[in-house]
Structure 1
Amino acid sequence: MAIYRVVFWSGTAFLSGILLASINRPLIAGIAIFSASTAIIYFLFRRNFLFGFLALGIIAGVFYYRAFERIQMNSVLIPFGTESEIRGLVIERELRPSSQRAVVELTDPWRGKIQITARRYSELNYGDIITAQGAIDPLVPERADYFLKNGIFGTMDFPDIAVSESGKGNAVKSALLNIKDKIVATFNKALPADKAALLSGITLGYRSDFSKELTEQMRLSGTTHLTALSGYNIMVIILAVTAVTGRYFSKNLSFLITAAAVVLFVIMAGAEASIVRAAIMGVIAAVGERLQRLRSADAAVMVTATAMVLFNPRLLVFDLGFQLSFLALLGIIYLKPALQNFFKSNQPGIWSWRENAFTTAAAQLAVAPLILGTFGTFSLTALFANVLVLEVIPITMALGFIIGGAGFLSQFLAGVAGLPASIFLGYALWVIGVFARFTLPITVAAMPIAFVFLYYALLAGFIRKYAKAAL
């Protein structure tokens, strides 16, 4: 068997074991015993090494998840439920209209991370050493998996907080976050509120300044992902940038320009772990597009996903961003060529509109059940909104980088660069507004699992039939 097939099926088996351990724990022991027995029989008696190898991969995934879970829980020492004073380092912070949330790494005598919700009258910053007085609540079962995949073990709501020291975090990360804050401030000075907010979302994934009206318009139009720091967002943007640069430069130079844009994006957004993961998934999608061969791409996809899950097994089932990234990546690599073959269209079209249309359609068809099951709604007109907006995303991002860089030299220069950016942002906001008013949503109260299996089975059949040229 070819090496890429071994890599692909090994990763698939291992992730299947992680999946089983994550979603149906009472069956773990039975599945492990059955898999072990099957592996022994096929290895020793029937010499079917492939089946036995896959069974061992499933066992490895199951036990790896359980070991990770045990080690993670044993590393924590937190005084739950009692009024106490704790001390810790702020390692993440999110501003909200009337509050702020901070992830705090506790210091001796306690161990572990907690999430603190506090008022905004005194803003916390990355690297602050704080003292908080209050009670730490254990995680509620309904939200436990969401917090645990981020390594958070408890919550604290509106305690009394005092900042004792500042600047104690990682120096590089502090510098990157300061750059990000400076760029956001530059956008706000150079552009009107909604345009500045949209540009901050597109280039930095920063959405704290979004108005309620803009947030609702993006939700209704199906364009929210453009400002979310997920591989779904970054993949679509990468391929849009590649489509534009590919018209003027060679494939190799176009790929290098796109990779440089991704690195710049990661730096500007603060190089958070979730951003780096999303960027890696996006780059893998670009590599898959460049290779234009599914057999070369699927092994790369599986290696990437397996490596991320090895680092944090909870991502596979409990991280929506990872799921959107992974499914969109599969859609772009596998479903996009099938759609192009079905419609007999392999030309990019004027301003690459066909390329953007197939990319967006493939990504959205791949993630549709997940979006519908998670949010309860999916817009049938989102494809058209995304195709129209994506036409201006590459140049808007480029102008955003220029405005951000100019802001470190002169606010006047940033304002000048903001003039053309304002035109493209105005167009994007207009498209978002139109498709927010004229939308065709599908709404469900709950997503039947049988429908999900049927949906992806039909997609797999479609790919098998029409993507043969890429296999």
Structure 2
Amino acid sequence: MRRSWLLAKIHPTWHFTAACLGVVIGVWSARWVPHTGGLTWLFTSGLLTLLWAMRPRRFMLAAALIGGVCLGVWRGSATQESVAMYDALYGKHVQIRGHIADDVETNNRGQAVAKLARVTLDARSLPGDLWVTVAAGQTVLRRSDVMTLDGRLQPGFGSFTASMTGATLVKVEREQPGDVALMVRDDFAEHVRKAIEEPAASLGIGYLLGQKSALPPHLVEALTVAGLTHIVVASGYNLTILVRLARRAFARVSKYLATLSGGVLIVGFIAMTGASPSMVRAGLVASLSMLAWYYGRKFHPVTLLALVAAATVLVNPSYAWGNLGWELSFAAFAGVMIVAPLLQAYFYGNEKPRLVPQILGETISAQLATAPIILVAFGQFSNIAILSNLIILPFIPLAMLLTFIAGLGSYALPAAAPIIGWPAEFVLRGMVAVVEWCASVPWAQSEVVFPWWGAVVWYGLIAAACWYVKWRTRYRLYEASIVE
């Protein structure tokens, strides 16, 4: 019986899923694997892939997984070898040049904090991204600006290959025509501010455009304590709302128009917010889901999760080496697309839950999936996150729509902008009040010392619970979709 079960044919997508998971494991483990035998890893991966492709039996899942691991180790080792050139530069005073990759933020010392990509030193390209802090001066730094910095190069952290703190800003260049999408975003944000007063305006801009850097510091702190930071950063949540609205608005006209509009929104949103790890993940997931819907197909969430994770780490292996944004994005996605549907099937059966129970289930699932990462990284946990999300999330699509209308009204009728923006301001001010109240509760946040092995146990328990609920309910995860 056991032998026949192992020899049974299964759909090749499960072998593909195992291979993708293996790629992620391989890239992650490449830091501890000797950087030798690169072609051997690649050849072994190709051979094992050929084997499972020719015989898609259940026992070949192991071959697919190992083949993926070999491919991941090959890719990760190649990157590790390239960043080894930094070893000779750490501790030295150097002058570097690089492009600002994300919105510039300000730390508690008043310094500008930036992520540099496409870094060069003496006309020689350096791999990876750098984390830098610069004394804030008269020069306004924006995404896509080219900075020349002078300072001492130090080892990096997380997915950053190196860092430079307290650097001296030598020169700033702004390429022409520059970042057009950024200019469109910032211009629209300015028109929103003409129609809506602060801090409501910045909150609405955060919802609609994912621009967190413009929020007042006290509101950022309140959002963090209340467990609501994810709603004002460029994330899959904002993008999912836009793609769902586009699909529902144009699906009655034609599938082609709905898919095209969704694709334009995805590209435009990422162009305006920047290609952060969470946005890259969200864009790939939304794009693949829209294409599957267009062709009348569905992705299994586990396959979609594994495919996008493998694709992102193959392009940028550093995501797997401590990028919290990447980790939290995938954890939240797994919670919403795997844990939440199973919980709903367990409690509601074949009935679709109403809005409030659905939001509650998705919020709890996302919290369960991301909590171990947050606890290990920050040692903090928002006790009031479920309540705050339950109150705020149902009104976010309305707030985004009203903010968009306020911005358009400010262009069309500048004199009447405050009147056009009043509905948005009313809703947003109510949200600000809720956020500040949630953050002011004495027990809103707890500090917890949580070891890494605790996270392993936590995820093991979640996996076991998901298996049990799936076995009990016979729910098909293929039914879950982020675009429907």
TM-score when normalising by structure 1: 0.79
Which amino acid in the other structure matches residue 453 of structure 1? V
Q: Which residue of 2 aligns with 1:448?
A: 451
Distance 1:338 1:370 in 2: 22
Distance 1:180 1:78 in 2: 40
Q: Which residue of 2 aligns with 1:376?
A: 379
Q: Deviations over 1:107-137 (max 9, x none)?
A: 75343365351323122345555555x3332
Q: Deviations over 1:371-398 (max 9, x none)?
A: 2222212223211211211111011112
Distance 1:344 1:126 in 2: 46
The answer as to whether partners of 2:16 and 2:64 remain within 8 angstroms in 1 is: no
Q: Secondary structure at the match of 2:450?
A: coil
CA RMSD of aligned residues (A): 4.0
Q: Which residue of 2 aligns with 1:182?
A: 187
Q: 2:60 matched to 1:57?
A: no
Deviates more, 1:292-301 or 1:305-314: 292-301
Instruction: Please point out which of 224, 237, 244 is paired with 2:229.
Output: 224
1:147 to 1:27, Cα distance in 2 relative to 1, 3 A: closer
Q: Which residue of 2 aligns with 1:425?
A: 428
Structure 1's unaligned 5+ residue stretches are none
Distance 2:99 2:267 in 1: 28
Q: Which residue of 2 aligns with 1:470?
A: 476
The answer as to whether partners of 2:405 and 2:420 remain within 8 angstroms in 1 is: yes
Q: Secondary structure at the match of 1:193?
A: coil
Q: Secondary structure at the match of 1:111?
A: strand
Instruction: Please point out which of 279, 286, 291 is paired with 2:283.
Output: 279
Q: Which residue of 1 aligns with 2:463?
A: 460
Percent identity reads: 24
Q: 2:125 matched to 1:121?
A: no
The answer as to whether partners of 2:159 and 2:321 remain within 8 angstroms in 1 is: no
Distance 1:358 1:117 in 2: 43
Q: Which residue of 2 aligns with 1:111?
A: 125
The answer as to whether partners of 1:289 and 1:333 remain within 8 angstroms in 2 is: no
**1:166 shift after superposition:** 3.4
Q: 2:309 matched to 1:305?
A: yes
The answer as to whether partners of 2:103 and 2:213 remain within 8 angstroms in 1 is: no
1:256 to 1:434, Cα distance in 2 relative to 1, 3 A: farther
The answer as to whether partners of 1:84 and 1:135 remain within 8 angstroms in 2 is: yes
Distance 1:51 1:298 in 2: 17
**1:158 shift after superposition:** 4.1
**1:177 shift after superposition:** 1.0
Q: Which residue of 1 aligns with 2:327?
A: 323
The answer as to whether partners of 1:218 and 1:224 remain within 8 angstroms in 2 is: yes
Distance 2:88 2:409 in 1: 46
Q: Which residue of 2 aligns with 1:167?
A: 175
The answer as to whether partners of 2:151 and 2:167 remain within 8 angstroms in 1 is: no
Distance 1:291 1:434 in 2: 46
Q: Deviations over 1:12-37 (max 9, x none)?
A: 12212222234x558999xx99xx8x
**1:156 shift after superposition:** 5.4
Q: Which residue of 2 aligns with 1:435?
A: 438
1:110 to 1:118, Cα distance in 2 relative to 1, 3 A: farther
Structure 2's unaligned 5+ residue stretches are 1-9, 52-56, 478-484
The answer as to whether partners of 2:33 and 2:77 remain within 8 angstroms in 1 is: no
Instruction: Please point out which of 143, 154, 165 is paired with 1:138.
Output: 154
Q: Which residue of 1 aligns with 2:336?
A: 332
Distance 2:455 2:35 in 1: 21
1:287 to 1:224, Cα distance in 2 relative to 1, 3 A: farther
Distance 1:338 1:311 in 2: 32
1:278 to 1:417, Cα distance in 2 relative to 1, 3 A: farther
The answer as to whether partners of 2:301 and 2:338 remain within 8 angstroms in 1 is: no
Q: Which residue of 1 aligns with 2:78?
A: 67
Distance 2:367 2:296 in 1: 20
**1:408 shift after superposition:** 3.9
Distance 1:402 1:50 in 2: 51
Q: Which residue of 2 aligns with 1:359?
A: 362
The answer as to whether partners of 2:27 and 2:76 remain within 8 angstroms in 1 is: yes
1:49 to 1:392, Cα distance in 2 relative to 1, 3 A: closer
Q: Secondary structure at the match of 2:199?
A: helix
Q: Secondary structure at the match of 1:469?
A: coil
1:250 to 1:328, Cα distance in 2 relative to 1, 3 A: farther
Deviates more, 1:194-203 or 1:280-289: 280-289
TM-score when normalising by structure 2: 0.77
Distance 1:13 1:221 in 2: 36
Q: Which residue of 2 aligns with 1:94?
A: 104
Q: Which residue of 1 aligns with 2:5?
A: none
Instruction: Please point out which of 185, 192, 195 is paired with 2:197.
Output: 192
1:13 to 1:334, Cα distance in 2 relative to 1, 3 A: same
Q: Secondary structure at the match of 1:145?
A: coil
Distance 1:249 1:354 in 2: 28
Q: 2:12 matched to 1:6?
A: no
